[in-house]
Chains A and B, each alone.
Chain A
Amino acid sequence: MNPTETTTPARAGAPATDATPRLGSMTQNDVAAIAARGGDTEFLAKRRTAAWRWYQDTPFPSRLDELWRRTDISKFKWEDVIPTCPAHPMVTSASALPASLQEAIGPAEERSALLVQIDAETVYAERADTFAAQGITFAPIAEAARLQPALVERYLGATVRPDENRFTGMNAALRSGGAFLHVPKGVRVERPIRIVVSRQTPNVAQFPHIVVALEEGAEATVIEEYVSSGEPGIGVCVGVTELTVGDAASLHFATFQRWGGNVYHFGTERVRVGRDSRFHWTVTELGGKLRKADFEMFLEGEGAEAKLSGCYFGSETQHFDFHTFQNHKVGHGVSDLLFKGALRSRARTIYQGLIKIHRDAQRSDAYQANRNLILSNKARADSIPSLEIEANDVRCTHGATVGQVDDEQIFYLMSRGLNRHDAEMLVIGGFFTPVLDRIPAESLRALVTAAVERKADG
């Protein structure tokens, strides 16, 4: 393990005072200042400028858009959002990271690399000594663009384009921190690579962009984690994650979101899965005030297998709006999605899942299930699965349920001597077990399981 010096130039350090530009008053010069401060290459700086123009010309989605019908952001004060933050000095060892993040990064022996972003800055990077010999690139995006310009130009924006909507444009224009991982052909990364995005400054917005590309036959496990403890003010995160799984490659990607209760997080996450490749996505969504996320799997090579195992737990007045997309573009692909959620108090969740089978995607096999467990009569879950099938020789199954804890199960457990609370905890835990069991890295699995248990405990 080797904490590396990054080549990021010294930062000017702009404190988040009234002088700091807010999104409402930002100009192209402010965007150029972010580019300079982040150490953008010319390619990256140009990309920012183009994205900024697109962003300015594109309205926010409204409730007339199908995917935004149940999430109203019209009253959100975007103009007050602060896209930069005070400079955080780089730390030189993982043990120097804030105590609150020690749990998130897990034991050193369970990772091969780690990038930590706080607010809008990367503060720590480490890679296994073997990375250089294996030809693996893993760095904040600006650094990666200096080290491997051709790779960054090839993969950045190749899966999620900046001009898809106002959020993708905003992310590309205001990008901060983020990570770029490239695993060359046939290379296997033994232990998980972890990317931690955290925050500590009130009202600061983050625009992390995570890019993962596995070449043919490569194998890796990557964990992205969004974590904070609920600093004063509000927090905003507009993220983009784009993943490419090359032919016959295998990627296990874990998304773990446990923001404090003050964070608004909008994310577009998409994977392109190549021929005969394997992709498994484990998603855990627990925190934040409002979370809107797209999880999209594009099957682009024959024989691709994509699987998503997700869980969410809403409580208080949390609002979660998830959209999943299983996009079978070619034949002989298998997609398998299980998204399970529990809701407490006044939580509100929306799940919209689409399976699309293109005309030539014969012999596709797609499965989608969304299961909701309602633990309070004030909570509400909407589940909207849908299919769009243009091919005629396919197998597609989908299902959605919204239910409560079964009285018979509780009676059964209580009859054996467990009190009601323990019985309910067991049933809720059991509901999530099939999903939690699939989470990679023992320390992460334990962390997620404990976090779910804390939420279940109310």
Chain B
Amino acid sequence: MTPTLHIKDLHVAVEGKPILKGLSLSVNKGEIHAIMGPNGSGKSTLANALMGNPKYEITSGQVLFHGEDISEWAADERGRKGLFLAFQYPTAIPGVSVANFLRMALQARRKAAGDEKPLPPKEFRKLMKEKMALLRVDDSFAGRYINDGFSGGEKKRAEILQMAMLRPEIAVLDETDSGLDIDALRIVSEGVNALAGPDLGVLLITHYQRILNYIKPQFVHVLVDGRIVKSGGSELAHELEAHGYDGIREASAA
């Protein structure tokens, strides 16, 4: 069977400097993968390259989505097809309300899926309300400007709220846990868990083992210096916790 997302021997450079050096990975709908790695290992580069950030140059290898090579696609085409990135540092867009933006984004996504009709305003509001309740954000959230003046926890919740609204097939969560206190982490994790299921594949990129107490991956991969050096089940996360990245590095070098 063709994997939903298939990353083949991916090499990515930022400003001419190679960061990812041959990364391969498959993620299917219904699966949760965690990628763990130390600072500078290429975690955020992977997230940005998958989403099509023009500052990240794919120098060789492929990203296949449903078997189709999307490495040359612009970010919006990827988004409309069902790829989603929860940003590590979501950017503020003053003057643009969350609701207005999501209405446009949802319409673009529905149109790409062949549904020309926009969601009626009443249904859209109902959907927003439901998803905001899931992420335990106040109703006023919809009218606020995107990430403008949001606390760290609000930004991460807003990312998952967008994911809930847009219902991607593959969601890449780039350090969605960093900077959150335990309460916020629990809310965000519960949100992700509520969305996880047979229609969604998750690629959870993290620096810390902590989030894996809340979101349980079937697959864990260790990223060091632009390559996946070890893959395994959830037990690998505990091994990392016990021995650190250095332990893995040494073991994989041996």
A and B associate: yes
| Contact A412:B91 (CB < 8 A) given known A407-B55, A417-B109 | yes
A427-B96, A434-B95 known; A415 vs B76 contact (CB < 8 Å)? yes
In Å, the complex CA distance between A431 and B95 comes to 6
Once the chains bind, are B74 and A420 in contact (CB under 8 Å)? yes
> Interface size bucket, B side?
20 to 34
Contact of A430 with B93 in the complex, beta carbons under 8 Å: yes
Interface contact A414-B95, CB-CB below 8 Å: no
User: In the docked arrangement, what's the CA distance between A431 and B92, Å?
Assistant: 12
Q: Contact between A415 and B96 (Cβ–Cβ < 8 Å)?
A: no
Q: Please tell me the number of chain A residues within 8 Å of chain B, measured between CB atoms.
A: 24
Q: Are B108 and A412 in contact (CB under 8 A)?
A: no
Contact A419 B108 (CB under 8 A): yes
Interface residues of B in 109-165 (CB under 8 A from A): 109, 112, 145, 162
In-complex Cβ contact of A412 among B54, B78, B87 (8 A): B87
Q: Is the CB of A411 within 8 A of B94?
A: no
Residue-by-residue, is A182-205 near B (CB-CB < 8 Å gives 1, otherwise 0)?
000000000000000000000000
Docked Cα-Cα span, A430 to B105, in Å, equals 16
Q: How far is the CB of B148 from chain A (nearest CB, A)?
A: 9
**Chain A, range 408-444, C-beta contacts under 8 Å to B:** 408-409, 411-420, 422-423, 426-427, 429-434
A407 to B74, CA, bound (A): 13
The yes or no answer to B20 lying at the interface (CB within 8 A) is no
User: How far does the Cβ of A406 sit from chain B's closest Cβ, in whole Å?
Assistant: 7
Question: Which residues does chain B contribute within 8 Å of A414, judged by CB atoms?
Answer: 52, 74-76, 79
Interchain CB contact under 8 A, A416 and B74 = no
In the assembled complex, B80 has its CB within 8 A of some CB on chain A: yes
Beyond A407-B55, A426-B104, A430-B145, is A415–B85 a contact (Cβ under 8 Å)?
Answer: yes
Question: Once bound together, how far apart are the Cα atoms of A408 and B145, in whole Å?
Answer: 16
With an 8 A cutoff between CB atoms, is B53 at the interface? yes
**A434→B96 CA distance, assembly (Å):** 10
Q: B166 to chain A: which residues have CB within 8 Å?
A: 416-417
Pair B105/A412 contact, Cβ less than 8 Å: no
**B112 in complex: contacting residue of A413, A417, A426, CB < 8 Å:** A417
**B91 contacts A415, CB within 8 Å?**
no
When C-beta atoms are compared, the residue in chain A nearest to B106 turns out to be A417
CB-CB under 8 A from B38, the residues of chain A are none
CA distance A430 to B145 in the complex (A): 9
Q: Which of B52, B91, B166 is the most central at the interface, judged by chain A CB atoms within 10 Å of its CB? A: B91
- Say if the beta carbon of B18 comes within 8 Å of chain A: no
Please give, as numbers and ranges, the residues of chain B lying within 8 Å of A419 by CB-CB distance.
76, 108
Taking a contact as CB atoms under 8 Å apart, the answer to whether B93 and A427 are in contact is yes
Chain A residues near B87: list those with CB within 8 A: 412
Closest to A430 in B: B95
With the chains together, A411 CA to B75 CA distance in Å?
Answer: 7
- With the chains together, A406 CA to B90 CA distance in Å? 13
Q: How many A-B residue pairs have CB under 8 A?
A: 81
- Distance A330 CA – B94 CA, assembled complex (angstroms): 35
- Which residues of A from 372 to 416 have beta carbons under 8 Å from B? 406-409, 411-416
A415-B51 in contact (CB<8A)? yes
Can you name the residue of chain A whose Cβ is closest to the Cβ of B148? A430
Cβ-defined contact, A415 with B93, below 8 A? no
A182 CA to B51 CA, complexed, in Å: 61
Name the B residues within 8 Å of A432 (CB-CB): 95
Q: Check B105–A417 contact: CB distance below 8 A.
A: yes
User: A431 and B94: CB pair below 8 A?
Assistant: yes
Complex contacts, B78 vs chain A, CB 8 Å:
415
Q: Closest approach, in angstroms, between the C-beta of B240 and any C-beta of chain A?
A: 29
Give Cα A411 to B109, complex, Å.
Answer: 16
A418-B145 contact given A426-B101, A430-B94, CB 8 Å threshold: no
> When A415-B51, A419-B108 are in contact, do A433 and B79 touch as well, CB less than 8 Å?
no
Cα A434 to Cα B51 with chains together (Å): 31
CA distance A423 to B91 in the complex (A): 13
Distance (whole angstroms) from the CB of B169 to the closest CB of chain A: 13
Q: Least Cβ distance of A284 to chain B in Å?
A: 16
Give the distance to chain B from A428, nearest Cβ to Cβ, in Å. 9
Whole-angstrom CA separation of A245 from B107 in the bound complex: 48
The smallest beta-carbon distance between B106 and chain A, in angstroms, is: 8
One digit per residue, 1 when the CB lies within 8 angstroms of any chain A CB and 0 when it does not, for chain B 165-194 equals 010000000000000000000000000000
In the complex, chain B residues whose CB is within 8 Å of the CB of A426: 93, 96, 100-101, 104
State A414–B52 Cα separation when bound (angstroms): 10
Q: In the complex, which residues of chain A have a beta carbon less than 8 angstroms from the beta carbon of B95?
A: 429-434
Which of A407, A417, A427, A433 contacts B108 (CB under 8 A)? A417
- Residues from chain A with a CB closer than 8 A to the CB of B75 are 411, 414-415
Shortest Cβ distance from B109 into A: residue: A417
A411: chain B residues within 8 A (beta carbon): 51, 53-54, 75
The answer for the CA separation of A419 and B162 in the assembled complex, in Å, is 17
Residues of the A chain whose Cβ atoms lie less than 8 Å from the Cβ of B52: 414-415
State in angstroms the CA–CA spacing of A383 and B78 once bound together: 39
Tell me, in angstroms, the Cα distance from A418 to B93 when the chains sit together: 14
Contacts of A416 in B (CB 8 A): 79, 84, 101-102, 105, 108, 162, 166
Docked pose: A28 CA to B104 CA in angstroms? 62
Which residues of A are found within 8 Å of B53, using beta-carbon distances?
Answer: 411
Residues of A within 8 A of B104 (CB): 418, 422, 426
Q: Complex formed: what's the CA distance from A413 to B78 in Å?
A: 12
Report the bound CA distance from A429 to B101 in whole Å. Answer: 12
Instruction: Report Cα–Cα, A209/B209, bound state, in Å.
Output: 71
> Complex formed: what's the CA distance from A407 to B79 in Å?
17
Q: With A and B bound together, what is the CA distance between A406 and B145 in angstroms?
A: 16
B72 to chain A, nearest CB (A): 15
Whether A434 and B94, one on each chain, are in contact in the complex, defined by CB atoms closer than 8 angstroms, is yes
What is the distance, in angstroms, from A453's C-beta to the closest C-beta of chain B? Answer: 13
**10 shortest interchain CB distances as A-B pairs:** A430-B95, A433-B95, A417-B79, A430-B96, A417-B108, A416-B105, A414-B75, A414-B76, A417-B80, A415-B75
20 residue pairs A–B, Cβ–Cβ below 8 Å: A409-B93, A411-B53, A411-B54, A412-B93, A413-B105, A414-B52, A415-B52, A415-B78, A416-B166, A418-B76, A419-B108, A420-B74, A422-B104, A429-B96, A430-B94, A430-B95, A430-B96, A433-B96, A434-B94, A434-B95
B-side interface residues toward A, CB under 8 Å? 51-55, 74-76, 78-80, 84-85, 87, 90-91, 93-96, 100-102, 104-105, 108-109, 112, 145, 162, 166
Q: A411-B75, A412-B90, A433-B96 are in contact. List 15 more A-B contacts (CB 8 A).
A: A413-B105, A414-B52, A415-B76, A416-B162, A416-B166, A417-B76, A417-B80, A419-B108, A426-B93, A426-B101, A426-B104, A430-B95, A430-B96, A433-B94, A434-B94
